[in-house]
Amino acid sequence: MLWNIATRTLFHDRGKLVAGLVGVIFSVVLVNIQGGLFFGLIRKASLLIDNGNADIWVGHRGMHNVDFPHDIPERWIHRVRSIPGVREAEPMRIGFSEITLPGGGFEGTMVVGLSPHTDLGRAYELHEGPDDALSHIHGVIVDACDDDKLDSPAIGSFRELGGRRVKIIGKSYGILSFLVTPYVFTTYDHHNELTGSDPTMASYFLVRLTPGVDADAVCSEINQRLDDVTALTAEDFADRSVHYWLTRTGLGISFGAATALGLLVGLVMVAQTLYAMVLDRITEFATLKAIGSTEREILLLLGAQSSLVASIGIAIGIVTSIVIQQLFSTPRAEIMFSPKLYAGSAILVFVICLAASGLPYLRVRQVDPHSILQG
C-alpha cells in the first residue's frame, strides 16, 4: 500500500516529476562525464607504461614520472639481464627536442628512442605507414592526433628535428602525452642525434620476465644489485606517474569542485520537487496522520518517492552518458567509463536523493492532523 500511494502521488503531477528527474539525470550525467574526462586525461600520464609491453621499468633512483627521466648508464643493463627470471631487457631513451614547421615555426616534441628489434616500449600501433616504420633510417613516427600541432605532415615528407633531417615514415593514433608536447618515436641510436643526449646513457631499462616469475622479487634483486636505480612493476610505475600529476596539479580539485556543484544542483532540484509535491498535498498527509500513520511510515513514503525518482533518473542518466561518450569522446578529450564509475555515480546520486526527502519530511512533521478533522 505504501508503494501504491507513493507511486500515485508521484505520477499524478507529471510536470513536477519531470523537474525532479531532470535534476537526477543532470547529476548522473555530470558525475559520469566529469569522471570519464578525468580518467581519460590522467590516463595519458601513464600511456607509455600501460602500452609499453614491459613487466618492470628500471630508472634512476626516485623516478616519479615517465615523461621526466633522469639518465642512467647504459652499461648497467648487463647486470639486469644477468638476473634469474629476466627474459629480455632493452634500454629506452626519452628526451626533448624541436621540430620545424613549414611556416618557419617550431614545435617542442618528446622524442622516444626504442630498439627496433623488440616490442618493448612500443606503445603505439601504426595508423599509417609500413609495419617496419621504426626500422627505416632517419625515419620517425608521429601521431595523427597531433597533426594540428605539426601542420599535418604527410607520410614521406621531410622535417628538421633537433637540427637533423628526418622523414615522417609512419603515424600512430591516440598516443598523446599528458603534456602538450607531441611524442615522436624513433630508433634508440637515432635518438641521440635528434636530442644531443649522451650516447652512453639511457632513460630506462624495460624488462620482460619469464612467465611465472615473481615481478616484485626481481624488482628487489635489481634494487640490491644497482644502488642508484629504482625498479618498479609496470603497474606501480603507472600509479606513481599518475600520482605525480595529481599532486603537482589541481586536476583533482577542479574536477571534484565541478562534480560537487552538479550534485548540489541535482540535490536542490530533487528536494524542491518533493517539497512542492508535499505542499500541494499537505491535507493528504494530514489525513494520513489523522488515520493513524506514524512518522516512520510518512518518512518511508517520502523515501519511496525519492527512490523512484532516483532509480528512473539514474537509468536515463547512464544511458545519456553512454550516448554522449559515443558522440564526443576523442583521443584528445577521451571519456573513459568503467563499471566502478557507473556504480559510484548511481550510489552517490541515490543517497543524495534519499537525503533530499528530508526537507519535505520536516514540513510534514509540522502538520497538525487535527486540522483535517476541523476542516
C-alpha cell of residue 169: 615514415
pLDDT at position 137: 81
DSSP class of 367: -
Rounded to a whole number of angstroms, the distance between the first and last alpha carbons of the chain is: 26
User: What is the rounded average pLDDT of the residues 70-88?
Assistant: 95
Does the structure show a pLDDT above 90 at 195? yes
Residue 59 class from Cβ within 10 Å (0-12 exposed, 13-18 middle, 19+ buried)?
A: buried
* CB hemisphere CA count around 242 (13 angstroms): 18
Domain limits, the chain: 2-43+250-374, 62-227
**Adjacent-strand bridge partners of 60:** 229
Q: How far apart are CA 147 and CA 70, in angstroms?
A: 29
pLDDT at position 19: 75
Report yes or no: 164 and 194 within 8 Å, Cβ to Cβ.
Answer: yes
Q: Using one digit for the tens of pLDDT, what is the confidence trace for 320-342?
A: 999 999 998 888 888 888 888 88
Report yes or no: 27 and 349 within 8 Å, Cβ to Cβ.
Answer: yes
pLDDT at position 320: 95
pLDDT at position 239: 94
Q: How far apart are CA 35 and CA 29, in angstroms?
A: 10
User: What is the rounded average pLDDT of the residues 53-70?
Assistant: 94
Does the structure show a pLDDT above 70 at 149? yes
**Adjacent-strand bridge partners of 202:** 72
Q: How distant, in Å, are the alpha carbons of 20, 204, 311, 351, 372 from that of 306?
A: 9, 55, 9, 10, 26
pLDDT at position 356: 72
pLDDT at position 22: 83
User: What is the rounded average pLDDT of the residues 271-284?
Assistant: 67
Task: Compute the C-alpha angle 337/341/344, nearest 5°.
Answer: 165
Residue of 283 and 132 predicted with greater confidence:
132
Among 89-98, 214-223, 350-359, the minimum mean pLDDT is found in 350-359
DSSP class of 206: E
pLDDT at position 283: 67
Residue labelled with grid coordinates 616500449: 121
Q: Give the Cβ contact number of residue 228 at 10 Å.
A: 11
Does the structure show a pLDDT above 60 at 1? no
pLDDT at position 303: 77
Does the structure show a pLDDT above 60 at 374? no
Q: How far apart are CA 110 and CA 66, in angstroms?
A: 11
Does the structure show a pLDDT above 60 at 318? yes
Residue labelled with grid coordinates 550525467: 29
Q: What is the 3-state secondary structure (H, E, C) of 131-166?
A: CCHHHCCCEEEEEHHHHHHHCCCCCCCEEEECCEEE
pLDDT at position 232: 96
